A and B are shown apart, each in its own frame.
Chain A
Amino acid sequence: MFDPILAEIRFGTGLSPIHRPVQSADTMIARLKGPDVAAGDFGWTMFRNTRPSPDDLLDAGRAIRDAETEAAREEALAARREMYDRVGLLYRRGFKTSLLRAARAEDGFREALVDFWADHFTVLAKNAQHRHLVMGYIEEAIRPNVAGRFQDMLIAVVTNPLMLLYLDQSSSVGPNSPAGQRGGRGLNENLAREMLELHTVGVEAEYSQTDVRQLAELLTGLTAPSGDHFKFQRNRSEPGEEVVLGRTYGSGGEGFHNVVEALTDIATHPATARHISTKLARHFIADDPPEEVIAVMADAFRATNGDLAAVYEAMLRHDQAWTPERLKVKQPIEFMKSACRALGMGANDIASDRPGDLHPAFFSPLITMGQEWQKPNGPDGWPERSDFWVTPQFMAARISWSIYKVNTFMTHLEDPRDFVRTALGPNPPEDVVFAAGAAANIRDGIGVVLSSAAFQRR
């Protein structure tokens, strides 16, 4: 049964002293379908507007090489240094933006979904010069599509330069295309493989190496020249027909439309319906989610050809999504975001953009908790399993952050005896209530509440 407290803790970014908990599943869905208020309140630019762009950085390097006088070289070096300072600044601002949205947004469910999908379609900045672009990728490819159709998100992701670079699609060339014939370059299967294995039908689906190969051929032509923008380069596209999961593409000649057609089919494939539903249920409900919930979600996916709002609605309307036991452990970033939300954190609480402030308070603790920001180990994103996250070292980091760091960035801390209800709802466990009141000082009281098993689960 729907429960307002669980709605915020399990499906959102936690309870907040500012917003009243959402009162129904109808409201949750209606908000999602409505305007993205948090995106307006805490703005961020799209990938294509994020500067310096990879091209800017490349040009800056060229300017240094081409400098003809020592003075010109110094100037070019200084210009590039400024650019890298901006890269670092944007990276830190991106983190602050995502923290503030989680802490302040009324629609916590939308924020949780953006994080879920950004993880599902993981990209990694392969070098430090690109790390400020991940936020732009999320803003452009993920965020506008969280309540839309899965196929639209898939196409947005696959035409984003960061994904094309990360999974090497940008270097893939059809062996029989004009570019392939000329340069002797060939196919790279990485994106095709991950798309089937991770992004769509899932590794347990019925597909073969031939499907991977054929899809890789079909995807040739998708490029990100110099990493700045997406382009379909027809002269790299492998000629002829390709057969993927039993359907034939490209019989009418080469073109981007073949890719769109294939991605649409794959995105609405029954195996994709099941894979996506399972992942959502595993993320929001339990590491081993109830089969009944997955089944109704997958039905909704199939019935609507991948309308994600309908899939979420099926989940939220199922009683088994609302089991009172909190089976999921918050991942470190979820833990941190929900703590900031419960603390009522505002822009003034982390006003500084300086690395000297943000590193000790956030970036470095996240690393020790096992979840360096935007740096999962691979394209499969972060692990879901509780036992991955609840280890001695990671727990030490969570406890230590709760007790020793929170008071360094919050300008004001609530009385722990009140905070225990702000953070855990009107009926917190008695032990936590006792501990909040028995702590020697406000700092320890808040820290003990945040470290409690009750707060760490959702």
Chain B
Amino acid sequence: MDRRDFLLRGTALGCTAAASPFVTPVALASAPWDNRLVVVILRGAMDGLDVVQPYGDAGLAGLRPDLPSGEAGGGMDLDGFFSMHASLGALSPLWRSGELGFVHAVSTPYRDKRSHFDGQDLLEAGIGGTSGIRDGWLNRMLQQVPGLEQEIAYAVGREQMLILSGDKLVSSWAPGTDLQLGTETQRLLELVQHDDPIFRAASTDAIRIAAEARDLGNLAGEAVGRGTSVDVARFAASRLLADTRIASFSINGWDTHNQQARGLRQPLEELANTILTLKSSLGDVWSKTAVVCMTEFGRTARQNGSGGTDHGTAGAMLLAGGAVRGGRVVTDWPGLGEADLYDRRDLMPTRDVRAHAGWMMRGLFGLPQGTIESAIFPGLEMGGDPGLLL
């Protein structure tokens, strides 16, 4: 199926959805599977070489004299070759229990221009080039499975999530959206929405979800740390405990052009807290959950003149969750010698980020490989199974 056919089909689906009456997506068996997938977009280009440090590669220290790696930089040794950045230290127990893993030297097909804007669009669209971006790969995935309720997937937070946008309607909510009405005003609101089914349903749900978000304190698990992403994770977890199977949100702050040693601390701690909050809030459901953290591209292999790094090509993915086969750094390591670098500058991509995302969907949701390679990531060849899941 080419892109044009795909779009035509998408339009037809859209019309059907528009014509169908609004159904309140509550308490219906909403998915033919029980696994959970959380996709976290790390916006700003996370430096994979600093987060998962190939300290065993003889080239690294010379490229980055002011960004020490391995135990010298306070990092945690993973496998004798790679170490994990010290600011992810809170995740060490997960590594040891096999609930945390990494993928290294991967990228999208995006090359050379290194724009955040285009890079993120392409990552979320999951297609090979920057033209013709319309919808996100998670939305296209949902379009492959008929009969899914809107509650099946949640975009959380105020950021537009292209990855979940498209013809399939999904749910969204930003924790902190304020809708606390006095009883009297709420009654009047119900009155002025009453005769219009879609407005009535959306307003009723809005009041309910806002109240549930306020009551998150009643969740079994604890919020670990503070911050927007932790709130987002708690809210996402509350949905994933119910009918939601897929959630996506983003964490900002990875664009470390200056003083990276200081600049990476905060986003990494936020990322660690977010993952620990998911684990804690999800309880038993954590065992069926895979969290995939991905970024638009990696950063330059060499540090720059201001203690930071610039926009590069290949980088790393972080995987967490009870469903993940962790405790490993999955990679075809390309090396850091100057001739090994992409454009003599960046870590060389040895595999497509989308192939790993594809294998995750294959494993979690049982989607046929052919569907993933044609409809979800058009034109992708997934290659061999990297065995990311238990």
Contacts and interface: CB of A to CB of B under 8 A. Distances in A.
Given A203-B4, A368-B177, A387-B22, 20 more contacts: A126-B117, A168-B131, A190-B132, A193-B132, A194-B132, A386-B198, A390-B199, A392-B171, A393-B173, A393-B206, A394-B202, A396-B179, A396-B206, A400-B177, A429-B195, A444-B182, A451-B193, A451-B203, A453-B200, A454-B196
Nearest to A124: B117
B205 A453 contact: no
A448 B189 contact: yes
Interface stretch (B13-21, B36-44, B79-87, B346-354): B13-21
Interface in B356-389: none
Nearest to B180: A400
Given A126-B117, A377-B162, A453 B196 contact: yes
Contacts of B182: 440, 444
A188 interface: yes
Contacts of A367: 158
3 nearest A-B pairs in the assembled complex, by CB-CB distance: A453-B196, A452-B192, A190-B131
B377 to A, nearest CB: 18
B174 interface: yes
17 contacts: A168-B130, A190-B132, A372-B160, A377-B160, A386-B18, A386-B198, A387-B22, A391-B202, A392-B173, A399-B179, A429-B192, A429-B195, A431-B191, A435-B189, A444-B185, A451-B189, A457-B196
Given A392-B171, A440-B184, A448-B189, A431 B134 contact: no
A3 interface: no
B390 interface: no
Contacts of A427: none
Contacts of B199: 390, 395, 453, 456
B131 A193 contact: yes
A435 B190 CA distance: 10
Nearest to A125: B117
A46 B212 CA distance: 48
A403 B158 contact: no
A438 interface: yes
A203 B8 contact: yes
Contacts of B181: 399, 403
Nearest to A378: B133
B174 to A, nearest CB: 6
B209 interface: yes
Contacts of A388: 169
A385 interface: yes
Contacts of A377: 160, 162, 165
B132 A396 contact: no
B143 interface: no
Contacts of A190: 130-132
A209 to B, nearest CB: 8
B11 A431 contact: no
B115 interface: yes
A188 B131 contact: yes
A399 B203 contact: yes
Given A190-B131, A385-B14, A388-B169, A395 B192 contact: no
Interface of A: 126-127, 167-168, 188-190, 193-194, 197, 203-204, 287-288, 329, 367-368, 370, 372, 375, 377-378, 380, 385-388, 390-397, 399-400, 403-404, 429, 431-432, 434-435, 438-440, 444, 447-449, 451-454, 456-457
Interface of A is mostly: helix
Contacts of A447: 185
B111 interface: no
A438 B187 CA distance: 10
B195 A126 contact: no
B172 A391 contact: yes
A395 B203 contact: yes
Interface residues of B, number: 53
B210 interface: yes
A393 B208 CA distance: 11
Contacts of B188: 435, 438-439, 444, 448
Interface in B14-68: 14-15, 17-19, 22
B332 interface: no
Interface of B is mostly: helix
B178 interface: yes
A437 B174 CA distance: 32
B7 interface: yes
B226 interface: no
A111 B198 CA distance: 28
Contacts of A435: 188-189, 191-192
Contacts of B206: 392-393, 395-396, 399
Contacts of B191: 431, 434-435
A368 B165 CA distance: 16
A391 B22 CA distance: 10
Interface in B192-239: 192-196, 198-200, 202-203, 205-210
B174 A368 contact: yes
Interface string B140-184: 000000000000000000101010010001011110011101101
Contacts of A127: 117
Task: Find the residue from B132, B194, B195 having the highest chain A CB count within 10 A.
Answer: B132
B263 to A, nearest CB: 20
A195 to B, nearest CB: 12
Given A126-B117, A399-B203, A431-B191, A393 B4 contact: no
Task: Find the residue from B172, B191, B192, B207 having the highest chain A CB count within 10 A.
Answer: B192
A313 to B, nearest CB: 28
Contacts of B169: 387-388
Given A385-B18, A395-B199, A453 B193 contact: yes
Interface string B117-140: 100010000000011111000000
Contacts of B200: 453
Contacts of A454: 192, 196
A58 to B, nearest CB: 16
A436 to B, nearest CB: 9
A432 B193 CA distance: 9
Interface string B237-280: 00000000000000000000000000000000000000000000
Contact of B177 (A397, A403, A439, A453): A397
Given A193-B131, A448-B189, A456-B199, A288 B177 contact: no
Contacts of A203: 4, 7-8, 11
B58 to A, nearest CB: 35
Nearest to B7: A203
Nearest to A384: B18
